[in-house]
Structure formats: C-alpha cells, structure tokens
Amino acid sequence: MPGIFISYRRDDQAGFAGRLADALEATFGADNVFRDIEDIHPGEDFVVAIEKNLAAVDVMLALIGPAWLSLSRQGVRRLDEPDDFVRREIEAGLTAGKVVLPVLVGGAAMPAESELPSSIRTLARRQALVLTDAGWSADLARLIAVVATKVPVVRPTTGRPVAIWGGVALLAAALLAVGLNGFGTKQTGDAAQPVAVAPAQNVSGRWQATIKYDWGAEHLEKFELQVDKDKLHGTAGYLGVARMIEQGTVSGEQLGFVTHSQEVAGDGPAREVTHRYRGTLKAGELHLVLESGGGFSAHTPVSFVARRADGG
C-alpha cells in the first residue's frame, strides 16, 4: 500500500518530525508513515530498514530546518560525508522516482542547487512546502492535501480501513488536519455515524518523572495536568522549572503537548527552544517521548515514564 517516508536530521528537526508524523498517522494510518526513531526495532539493521521502508512508499517528505545544510562534524559538512543517511535517503528517493517534497520548518530557507551535493541537487528544483508554528493547521492542511493525491486517506471503520481518493481525499485530509480526526465511526445499517473518542480523564493530576536528558544531566520533573474534553492544560517541568503547556491534546489514551524554554550561548541573545511531548497512558503510567528543537544545541529524543505524585 502507498505510504510516506519522513526524512529528517535528528539534531535539527526531530521535534517537527514527531509532530508531523502524529498528524500524518491520524490521516493516513500509522502503518503507512515511516519515521526511523519509532519504526526501526532494537537489533534491526538501520540501513536495511531504511532501504526496505523507502522502497515501500510513494512519497518522501524531506524536512529541512535551519541547521540542515550547515551542520558539520569534525569540520566536514554532514551532507558531504560518505555515510550521511539524510543525503543517502534523498538520493535513493530521487533515483527511485519517488515524489520527494522538501518541507521547510523552523524558518528555514530552501537551499540553492549550488549548496547541495551533486547527487541531490535536483531537490532544489522541487516546489517546497512550509510548516510554521503560527500557521500550523493551515500549513498542515495544504501539505496533507498534496500528499493525499498520492497516498489514500484511511478512515477508521468497524471493518477494514477505507481508502478515499481524489477530491474526497483532499476534503477529508483538510478536515482531519484542522482537528476532526478525534472521531471514529460506528456502523448503523450501511451508514457510518461519527462517534467521539472519549478523552482519558484520568490523565488529570500531578505526575513526576526522573528524566535523563541527552547530554547526561538528570532532573526530577513535575507535571500538573488538567483535561478539559479533548484539550490538555497545565505545566510540565523542564530542567526543574515549570513550563506552561501549549497545544495540549488528549485522544483516548494518547496525549501530546508543547512547552518552550530559552537557551543562551555566551553573552549573545537567547534563542527559544520548543519541547514536544507525546505519549500514551499505559497501566496507570505516562510513557512519553520528549523532542526538543531550536536554540543553539542539537538534541536527540528522550523517552521516560511519569508516575502519579498525588496518590491518584
């Protein structure tokens, strides 16, 4: 079945990649969206898994953030390293004739042909899509509408998934993107009726977790969560400081939210860091993944488990 491959550099666009993957999975089905951090199993050969999943999809989304072009290691630009997986993924997508769509995030600009390795220079000729925090819903709706011309939208039913093509797919995708994907369906005769997914009210309360961040520091972080219908509010600790939750959502046992902090390097101005949390309520525990992007430092995703701190 046609699918979507998200190519991204973990230390540049991990937060956006996670947020985008969640939206695409809600629209096209989790089995049809590939993102390496979740879809490669422990012990599995990374190169083989990437090539296998890339061969099985029709659309590649190449996420390009502010540091995508300039990140270097030991003085060599990452894109120019022989084993750079981002370049190799895009090379494979272009060579195989996949639909490769550049997606600009974090205020990044589209690289010029002269700035790219020769093997992927044609990427610069592709029309880029833009995802911004301020215009996320509208930008996402446009992206999904483009992808839906190649990949069927999957609508949950009590039977097997239904693939919807053409103009109906575009309408369904746009509706899903602006927040109607919190509905399932229930069969009444031959007609499918929408039925709201009950939010996980028992997410509300005080939680805490010892989080070991990617640079080695450990902090006991506290979370104050309140659920209002399908919205999540409250605060989440980052480096021992309570941060206001934004864009918080709850659907069944799935939840996600965003917080922000400031990072300073030397005497220069501070940069905002965006922290994206997503996870699942399992057996009374919150299993969460934190992805941070922006600022001066590159971060890898961090997984942790939060437990009740209020005896609830």
Domain ranges of the chain: 4-186, 201-308
Residue 45 CB-half CA count within 13 A: 4
Residue 6 burial (CB < 10 Å; 0-12/13-18/19+)?
buried
Q: pLDDT tens digits for 283-298?
A: 899 999 999 887 777 7
What band does 19 get if pLDDT is binned at 50, 70 and 90? Answer: confident
pTM of the model: 0.53
pLDDT computed for residue 183 by the predictor: 36
Place of tokens 């899509």: 129
Q: pLDDT tens digits for 155-209?
A: 543 333 434 334 334 444 444 444 333 333 344 444 444 443 344 558 999 999 9
What band does 308 get if pLDDT is binned at 50, 70 and 90? Answer: very high
> Distance (Å, rounded) from C-alpha 120 to C-alpha 102?
12
What band does 222 get if pLDDT is binned at 50, 70 and 90? Answer: very high
pLDDT computed for residue 119 by the predictor: 92
pLDDT computed for residue 153 by the predictor: 84
pLDDT computed for residue 261 by the predictor: 85
Task: Choose from 42-46, 186-190, 227-231, 233-237 the range with maximum mean pLDDT.
Answer: 233-237
Stretch 119-141: mean pLDDT:
88
Out of 20-24, 130-134, 276-280, 296-300, least confident range: 296-300
Class of domain 201-308: mainly beta
CATH superfamily ID and name for 4-186: Toll/interleukin-1 receptor homology (TIR) domain (3.40.50.10140)
- Record the tokens describing residue 99, joined without a space: 């639909």
Picking from 223, 182, 202, 198, the residue whose alpha carbon sits closest to that of residue 283 is 202
Helix residue ranges per DSSP H, 96-222: 136-147, 166-177
Picking from 4, 7, 2, the residue whose alpha carbon sits closest to that of residue 144 is 4
Cβ count within 10 A of residue 287:
15
Per the DSSP assignment, residues forming a β-bridge with 285 are 282
The per-residue pLDDT of the chain, averaged, comes to 78
